[in-house]
Amino acid sequence: MEFVHLKYCNDWYSYQDASNIGMCILGRFLLSDVRCYSPTFREWAAADKDMPGSGFTHYVGGNATELEEEDNHVYLFDGTEPMTEEIRANGFRVPRAQFIQLLDDWKEKVCEKKPKEVVIKHENGQFIIETIG
């Protein structure tokens, strides 16, 4: 099982621990790029980027991460360093539908309820957000 653990502190969440680099990148993406204020990443993931006039490309970047869509998957990369083969190799791959569901769950379980702790687990190809408090 892979995980990332976050804790509520000073009106927002702080990173506590992660089982691997990919889950750390996911945590940084949610904490630094998504936060709770913008539906932009969800809209980006749901958009048909190949449709003329969609206004979206297969790539988008945030404060801490870079995202790329390919073959109906979203790849998350560390965006704080220039892209190298090592950065690409350590990226985190998520099926697009699961990525959208994860963002929906983040909004519902974390942003709207503000629990004291959040653990996001990735097991058997599924993401589960567990909250404490």
Per-residue pLDDT of the chain (133 residues; tens, 9 = 90+): 999 999 999 889 999 999 998 999 999 999 999 998 767 899 999 998 888 877 788 889 888 999 999 889 999 988 887 777 777 777 788 999 999 999 999 999 999 999 999 999 999 989 999 999 9
pLDDT of 96: 95
pLDDT of 5: 98
pLDDT of 38: 67
β-partners of residue 69 are 74
Note whether 66 and 77 are within 8 A (CB): yes
Helix H or strand E encompassing 130: strand 126-132
Tell me the C-alpha distance between 82 and 45, whole Å.
Answer: 23
Note whether 76 and 26 are within 8 A (CB): yes
pLDDT of 74: 93
pLDDT of 50: 80
Q: Name which of 34, 38, 36, 19 is nearest 92 in CA terms.
A: 19
